[in-house]
Chain A
Amino acid sequence: EAQVTQNPRYLITVTGKKLTVTCSQNMNHEYMSWYRQDPGLGLRQIYYSMNVEVTDKGDVPEGYKVSRKEKRNFPLILESPSPNQTSLYFCASSPQERRTEAFFGQGTRLTVV
């Protein structure tokens, strides 16, 4: 089954404690991205990757890092989480050459206290 898998689904952490949210897709997609969703603000892109070893900032990259060492994986790293990073995070992938349908993961609800 074609899917994008995020882990964990829920996470409560403390300010400053480094964390990683994993994202993996099994569709051989080149393009992957991370979004955060906040009430009244919709989906905002954090980082994206066009292919392996190619990443770039989206609209709200501050406080986040990503890596793309393999085509299927695109982890989101919060080196020093702060309460304003409490949000719902989505990973998505799509075939770059078509710039079409984005497949979203189930989401990760992060709370930073």
Chain B
Amino acid sequence: GQQVMQIPQYQHVQEGEDFTTYCNSSTTLSNIQWYKQRPGGHPVFLIQLVKSGEVKKQKRLTFQFGEAKKNSSLHITATQTTDVGTYFCAGDSGGGADGLTFGKGTHLIIQP
């Protein structure tokens, strides 16, 4: 079945530093989604990427979808303490009904 690998598992940064998490799928994806889960909270949708090579920005967050639609990245510029949490990618193969396959997430820890 489809597998989605996400690295790193943990990332410690100083406040103000940049952060990147990477996601790789074993199969070509129809789309990829990114979610953020604050400590003690539930996953919250951030964005969906659909097109090959697509790049989307949300303020300090930049999302990319690879040309082959098998990998993606989330980059945060100048991290803030409010960015703390776990970031998940979730791939949709587009076929069948089994929905999203989540990566294991990257825990972002920010030191003031």
Contact = CB atoms under 8 A, between A and B. Distances in A.
Nearest to B47: A101
Contact of B42 (A50, A90, A94): A90
B61 interface: no
Given A43-B88, A45-B98, A56-B97, A103 B104 contact: no
Given A43-B43, A43-B88, A101-B33, A33 B99 contact: yes
B42 A99 contact: no
A50 B96 CA distance: 10
Contacts of B98: 45, 48, 56, 58
24 contacts: A31-B99, A33-B99, A41-B104, A42-B102, A42-B105, A43-B88, A43-B102, A45-B99, A45-B100, A48-B98, A92-B43, A99-B31, A99-B99, A100-B33, A100-B48, A101-B45, A101-B48, A102-B33, A102-B43, A102-B45, A102-B99, A102-B100, A107-B41, A107-B42
The 3 closest A-B pairs by CB, nearest first: A42-B104, A43-B102, A101-B45
Interface of B: 1, 6, 9, 30-31, 33, 35, 41-45, 48, 88, 90, 92, 94, 97-105
